[in-house]
Amino acid sequence: MKRRDDTVRRRTGFAFAARGRRAVSVATLDDRSVLEAWDLTGHVARAADVPSVPVDQDTGVLPLDDGGYLLLRGAGTATVEIGSVPPERDSEDADDLGPERVLGKLPALGGYLLPSPAGSSFPGIAVVIGTDVSTVVRLRPDLRTLEETARIPGVLSGGSWLERDVAAFNRTPNDGQPDGIVVDVEQSAWRRTWSVSDTSADRIVLYAPATRLLVVSSNASGRTRLGWGILGRGTVEFPDVLVDDDFPQQALAVDERGERVLLHRMRGAVSELSVWTPFDGHVTPLGGPRGVVTGPVSWHGEVIHLPFSRPTLPPTIATVGLAERRTPPRWTLPRLAAGFAHADLVSVDGAQGPIEAVRYGRRRRREQGTLVVALHGGPLSAWRYEFDPLFQRLAAASVTVLAPNCRGSVGYGSDFSITGRWASADLDDVRALGRDLSAERRAWGLRAPILLGASYGAYLALLAACSEPDLWSGCIALAPFLSPAGLRVDAGRAVRERIDALGGTDDDRDVLRRCSSLRAPLMLVHGSRDERIPVEQSRALHRRLLADEATPVDYLEPDTDHAGVVAHQSRQLLRRIEHFCLTSTTESARAGAQPLDPGEGGERDGAPGLRHGRLTAGTAGDRPD
């Protein structure tokens, strides 16, 4: 395998082999993805590229203990393809991997892979998710064929092996709440095994064969709680020590002895880990560096491996060595390339008091020549103290980014909730922050801040820019919607159900009704294949602004999906955002936005309003999805 110095890579798709000695991730750099293989046998996790196995950001990869790989391609399309790559031969060259074998193609919207349990005769299974049915597919030992073992109504998630051929999953029916089921992959049979009521969301979280410890969750009491029991005994306990309405716990892994459970919760923008021992009820903080932990997690012996990130550290695999109870755990992180912009957590003034924010770039306000106020999506979301390629790029260009967690952000307790009151308290916070920053910056001779938002954050940014246009020198809206009620009409079922669950249509604030007051230059970006927020939302706003001729607009409609605009931006789109931030004063923007370079893509045939001029539009260039 070819080693390389680490660079600014966006890592996704972490997965661990069953015995915990290998892991994989998919790294994307300059719009190209590569499979990374991780060696977890030393004190520090080490990654190497596997260029002979082509992947993209949507490829699911499962490393096998023998050195091979299982792959699942096509998630989000009408068909998924399952393939395998045999182990490396006795060579250090990754190109000596055997050729990939296509094991089969199945009609589906998505799916995922699970390794087999210890002692099994097959390497793993695939869970293939269709519109109304999920199919469990077993991979035969020769890694050449597939065998459908069970077809189950609804959508499956999770997966814990109870026995050699029996696995527990969570099933969400098309018209009901999740419950826990058991699937016998040998007998092609399934049955419901964990359900408190027909109206509660009940899930199987973890299982430990050594003690038959079963960790579950349920919201039957009105709030989601973790519980535990011994499989076969029929009783489940929900310990009070785990109850915290403001900072709910999540169970990530159970140790091999079946005695300890790794817990995770977000306290504000940072992760907190602890170890819970259900049999004696103790919860012990694990400590560690400030940052963000994500799943999955591998726990073997006294060593835990988990994905970890902080603003100056792209996602990587951290090694946590557990020791005696009196000795703090030892965290080890791979050494990565230096040179990232400084980032910290700061407190800023919202409408009703201080709120937390992540700041990238210069610390002293007088030195912040260009300032971007970034608003996160959601609304049930938050900025985290983790690596963000866009913010790092802007900071490297001397653009300071302030990412506030306004009211409504998760991780700050029930008092922050805006369920049923979208664009209310959070919009008040944005406007209060804008007034404070604009007044201060004008006193220092600096330009007003620029708003940047993605998805729900783009909707919020547009409302803020319309309601108090003098506070902002520009606005960047990435895949916005114009009102919750309008989005509910245009979007698919999953988005409609989420809007209903969060009460988003009770207070309908429509951008189209307010956009006549918009004065700050606007950059409007929406993927033509956006599956969550239909592109017509941005097209309608663009048409209205073209008719009003009052607002300078740079409209971009790249040939990509929702994630390609709000999360996995192409290099070309990152460059356009940076250019807008550095040049989009009102005067310069009215002179005409800059078109894309010829090598970055051109106009997209058939899209409305895609023309160059004072109100300029273009595309952000194609990006492999």
Tell me how far CA of residue 24 lies from CA of 7, 17, 279, 305, 559, in angstroms: 17, 8, 33, 12, 29
91 pLDDT band (50/70/90 cuts)?
very low
pLDDT value at position 337?
58
2 pLDDT band (50/70/90 cuts)?
very low
Q: Average pLDDT, stretch 223-245?
A: 90
pLDDT value at position 325?
64
CA distance 432 to 353: 10
Contact (Cβ atoms closer than 8 angstroms) between residue 358 and residue 311: yes
pLDDT value at position 396?
92
Residues of the chain with CATH 3.40.50.1820: 345-618
State the average pLDDT for the chain. 86
Q: Average pLDDT, stretch 212-225?
A: 93
Region of poorest pLDDT, from 7-16, 196-205, 252-261, 529-538: 7-16
Contact (Cβ atoms closer than 8 angstroms) between residue 130 and residue 108: yes
pLDDT value at position 418?
75
- Which tens digit of pLDDT belongs to each residue from 446-489? 999 999 999 999 999 999 999 999 999 999 999 999 999 899 88
Q: Average pLDDT, stretch 225-230?
A: 95
CA distance 262 to 285: 10
CA distance 131 to 106: 13
Q: Average pLDDT, stretch 341-358?
A: 94
Neighbouring C-alpha atoms within 13 Å toward the C-beta of 34: 19
User: Which residues, including other chains, have CB under 8 Å from residue 495's CB and lie 6 or more apart?
Assistant: 487, 488, 532, 533
CA distance 120 to 141: 9
The dihedral built from the CA positions of residue 239, 240, 241 and 242, taken in this order, carries a sign that is positive
pLDDT beyond 50 at 239? yes
Q: Average pLDDT, stretch 276-302?
A: 94
Contact (Cβ atoms closer than 8 angstroms) between residue 47 and residue 100: no
Q: Average pLDDT, stretch 289-313?
A: 95
pLDDT beyond 70 at 612? no
pTM of the model: 0.87
- Which residues sit opposite 181 in a β-bridge? 169, 192
pLDDT value at position 611?
30
pLDDT value at position 193?
92
Region of poorest pLDDT, from 337-341, 506-510, 615-619: 615-619
- The DSSP letter of residue 492 is -
pLDDT value at position 614?
30
Q: Which fold has domain 1-192?
A: Methylamine Dehydrogenase; Chain H (2.130.10)
- Which residues sit opposite 347 in a β-bridge? 356
Residue 387's closest CA among 306, 310, 335, 454? 310
78 compared with 609, residue with greater pLDDT: 78
Element (H, E) at 356: strand 353-360
109 pLDDT band (50/70/90 cuts)?
confident
pLDDT value at position 606?
33
With a pLDDT cut of 70, the percent of the chain lying above it is: 88
pLDDT value at position 76?
67
Q: What are phi and psi of 535, to 5 degrees?
A: -60, -20
pLDDT value at position 502?
79
pLDDT beyond 70 at 93? no
Contact (Cβ atoms closer than 8 angstroms) between residue 379 and residue 455: no
Residues of the chain with CATH 2.130.10.10: 1-192
Question: Could you give the residue ranges of the DSSP H alpha helices within 343-413?
Answer: 389-396
Show the tokens assigned to 497: 């159900």
592 pLDDT band (50/70/90 cuts)?
very low
Q: Average pLDDT, stretch 593-604?
A: 36
pLDDT value at position 326?
60
pLDDT value at position 108?
86
pLDDT beyond 90 at 60? yes
Number of CB atoms found within 10 A of residue 616's CB: 18
pLDDT value at position 143?
67
Contact (Cβ atoms closer than 8 angstroms) between residue 602 and residue 619: yes
Residues of the chain with CATH 2.130.10.120: 196-329
pLDDT value at position 367?
75
- Which tens digit of pLDDT belongs to each residue from 143-199? 677 888 899 999 999 999 998 889 999 999 988 899 999 999 988 999 999 999 989
Number of CB atoms found within 10 A of residue 3's CB: 9
- Which tens digit of pLDDT belongs to each residue from 369-396? 899 999 999 888 999 999 999 999 999 9
Assign domain 196-329 one CATH number from 2.70.70.10, 2.40.110.10, 1.20.210.10, 2.130.10.120: 2.130.10.120
Show the tokens assigned to 160: 């814990």
123 compared with 337, residue with greater pLDDT: 123
Domain 345-618 in CATH 3.40.50.1820: yes
Q: Average pLDDT, stretch 411-420?
A: 78
611 compared with 577, residue with greater pLDDT: 577
Q: Average pLDDT, stretch 539-545?
A: 95
Q: Average pLDDT, stretch 13-33?
A: 91
pLDDT beyond 50 at 620? no
pLDDT value at position 89?
57
